A and B are shown apart, each in its own frame.
Chain A
Amino acid sequence: MAKIMIPTPLRKFTGNQPVLESSSETVDLAIRQLIQTHPALQRHLLDGNDQIRSFVRIFVGDTDYQELQGPATPVHQDTVISIVPAIAGGSPSDPQNQPV
């Protein structure tokens, strides 16, 4: 089974599971299957046009899937798909970044 690596900020939507398995044939199907299983991920991964959000990158192995075959990139038994979101840290004393 292929592996999907879930980044820390999104693990609260996968029941804290860091790695999920997928038997889908393409990256697109794997991501959609992931969202079907964990619907709360949808707004974090897909934009209003159903495309991967611009602050999230998808890698297959160590290569951005856009440099492969994009959503149609085939997924094999040993494929590792990484979801990589932008992270920025965060300070409560920064008024532009007031969190809580």
Chain B
Amino acid sequence: MRPDRSSSTFSPQEYARYSRHIIIPEFGLDGQEALKKARVLVIGSGGLGSPSLLYLAAAGVGHIGIVDFDTVDDSNLQRQVLFSTDDIGKGKAAQAQKRLQRLNPYIDVVIHETRLDRTNARELIRQYDIVADGTDNFPTRYLVNDACVLEGKVNVYASIFQFEGQVSVFNYLNADGTRGPNYRDIFPEPPPPGLVPNCSEGGVLGVLPGIIGSMQALEVIKVITGVGEPLAGRLFLFDASSFHTRFLNIRRNEAVRIEELIDYQQFCGLDIPEAPVVEVSVHEMEEWRRQGEPFQLIDVREPYEYAIAQIGGELMPVGQIASFLPRISRDRKVIVHCRSGVRSARAIRELQSLDHFDNLFNLKGGILAYSREIDQSVPQY
């Protein structure tokens, strides 16, 4: 991807800015010019996107696109270093664009404040040379992967969970014109919903996306400049708790065929309607309390969440809910709650699959709603 040097020029300010790159013998002016001409689409400006965007902008990637429709939340700031307290409630893509243009006014930053889906993914990705996938859910992972394969784009992949990070370069164009393995060659199918916890359920150490997102930026820069050996055909694993690192060899799986974009919600099992659960609002629960209506309150969160905030429920974590069956009341109403109401609904469905219950109520909005609407002294997290 090295450019014709005569076709690109740097201003004196740019030479000064990029001098530490240009004086690296293997990198040089050619490498910097390749960065300036490159068009990189970063999908997600959160935990992974924050560090990768900062480094790609600082490095002088000439055209950066950001896909994000989300807004900045308090809980993002522990790891999403693009944003500050003043940005809470504002659109991530727009705030990221401002920050990156302040960091480097010699590049173009374009934002796409939209949810990537199968109707827009190929057209969007087609406009760029390389994609950096920093998304946070399986449907979008598969969508980005498939769109990159169909459009012939390199997909620099990074993913995190708690202390664990994964990095690879998918669909890399080899010297012989063939393409390297992609995400589906490793994981042909996604896990069913609920089987793999996500970061907001399992948490993530804030500095981990900083490390893994920086590695993602490194691989993007290597692919653009041709410097070094990209992580194509290899999956890098990083365990931050032990600092254990591993490289695993991955290969094309000839059984995997990607011919068109599909319904990724359906593919990931997210379009199957779940059995409804009976809900009760925090106000109704308080009314029952005032009227002396007897009920059992069960908290299905984890013990470390209970330590942050609790509203008097009996702790029975959702992962072990079946083992608490004998402790669940049969002769009075039972209100089940979690942080926002999703895990508690899952717990109710599991209990109802194990035995006949007609007295289970899901606390709508969970402890967050209780904090907002009943008692603001209960911490939100």
In whole Å, how far is A55's beta carbon from the nearest beta carbon of chain B?
Answer: 4
A62 B164 Cβ-Cβ under 8 A = no
Q: How far is the CA of A93 from the CA of B188 in the complex (A)?
A: 27
Q: How far is the CA of A64 from the CA of B251 in the complex (A)?
A: 9
Contacts A86-B191, A87-B196, A89-B199; is A100 near B338 (CB within 8 Å)? Answer: yes
As a 0/1 sequence over residues 24 to 68 of chain A, the CB contacts with chain B under 8 angstroms (1 = contact) are 000000000000000000011000000001110101001110010
User: In the complex, which residues of chain A have a beta carbon less than 8 angstroms from the beta carbon of B319?
Assistant: 12
In whole Å, how far is B254's beta carbon from the nearest beta carbon of chain A?
Answer: 12
Q: Which residue of A lies closest to B250 (CB)?
A: A64
B198 A89 Cβ-Cβ under 8 A = yes
B189 A88 Cβ-Cβ under 8 A = no
B187 A9 Cβ-Cβ under 8 A = no
A9 B200 Cβ-Cβ under 8 A = no
A88 B73 Cβ-Cβ under 8 A = no
B137 A91 Cβ-Cβ under 8 A = yes
Say whether B75 faces chain A, with CB atoms less than 8 Å apart. yes
B241 A18 Cβ-Cβ under 8 A = yes
User: In the complex, which residues of chain B have a beta carbon less than 8 angstroms from the beta carbon of A9?
Assistant: 161-162, 164, 196-197, 202
Say whether B138 faces chain A, with CB atoms less than 8 Å apart. yes
User: In the complex, which residues of chain A have a beta carbon less than 8 angstroms from the beta carbon of B160?
Assistant: 87, 89
As a 0/1 sequence over residues 2 to 24 of chain A, the CB contacts with chain B under 8 angstroms (1 = contact) are 00010111001000001000000
As a 0/1 sequence over residues 62 to 81 of chain A, the CB contacts with chain B under 8 angstroms (1 = contact) are 11100100000000000000
In whole Å, how far is A87's beta carbon from the nearest beta carbon of chain B?
Answer: 4
A64 B249 Cβ-Cβ under 8 A = yes
- Select which of A54, A84, A86, A98 is within 8 A of B196 by beta carbon: A86
A96 B139 Cβ-Cβ under 8 A = yes
User: In the complex, which residues of chain A have a beta carbon less than 8 angstroms from the beta carbon of B237?
Assistant: 82, 84
Say whether B71 faces chain A, with CB atoms less than 8 Å apart. yes
User: In the complex, which residues of chain B have a beta carbon less than 8 angstroms from the beta carbon of A43?
Assistant: 195
B251 A67 Cβ-Cβ under 8 A = yes
Interface residue total, chain A, C-beta cutoff 8 A: 34
User: In the complex, which residues of chain B have a beta carbon less than 8 angstroms from the beta carbon of A64?
Assistant: 248-251
In whole Å, how far is B338's beta carbon from the nearest beta carbon of chain A?
Answer: 5
Q: Which residue of B lies closest to A55 (CB)?
A: B191
B48 A89 Cβ-Cβ under 8 A = yes
Contacts A9-B162, A9-B164; is A88 near B196 (CB within 8 Å)? Answer: yes
Q: Which residue of B lies closest to A63 (CB)?
A: B249
Residues B316-357 near A (CB distance < 8 A): 319, 338-343
Say whether B270 faces chain A, with CB atoms less than 8 Å apart. yes
Contacts A8-B163, A53-B191, A63-B249; is A90 near B137 (CB within 8 Å)? Answer: yes
Residues B229-287 near A (CB distance < 8 A): 235, 237, 239, 241-242, 244, 246-251, 265, 270
Say whether B136 faces chain A, with CB atoms less than 8 Å apart. yes
Residues B162-197 near A (CB distance < 8 A): 162-164, 166, 186-191, 195-197
Interface residues of B (CB under 8 A from A): 46-48, 70-71, 73, 75, 134-139, 141, 159-164, 166, 186-191, 195-202, 204, 209, 235, 237, 239, 241-242, 244, 246-251, 265, 270, 301, 319, 338-343, 366
Interface residues of A (CB under 8 A from B): 5, 7-9, 12, 18, 43-44, 53-55, 57, 59, 62-64, 67, 82, 84-94, 96-100
7 pairs of A and B residues whose beta carbons are closest in the complex: A90-B198, A100-B339, A92-B200, A8-B164, A89-B136, A90-B199, A99-B201
Please name 4 further chain A to chain B contacts, defined as beta carbons within 8 Å, in addition to the given A5-B244, A64-B248, A92-B200, sorted by A numbering. Answer: A86-B191, A91-B199, A96-B265, A98-B340
9 examples of A-B residue contacts, CB within 8 angstroms: A18-B241, A18-B244, A44-B195, A63-B249, A90-B136, A90-B197, A90-B202, A92-B340, A99-B198
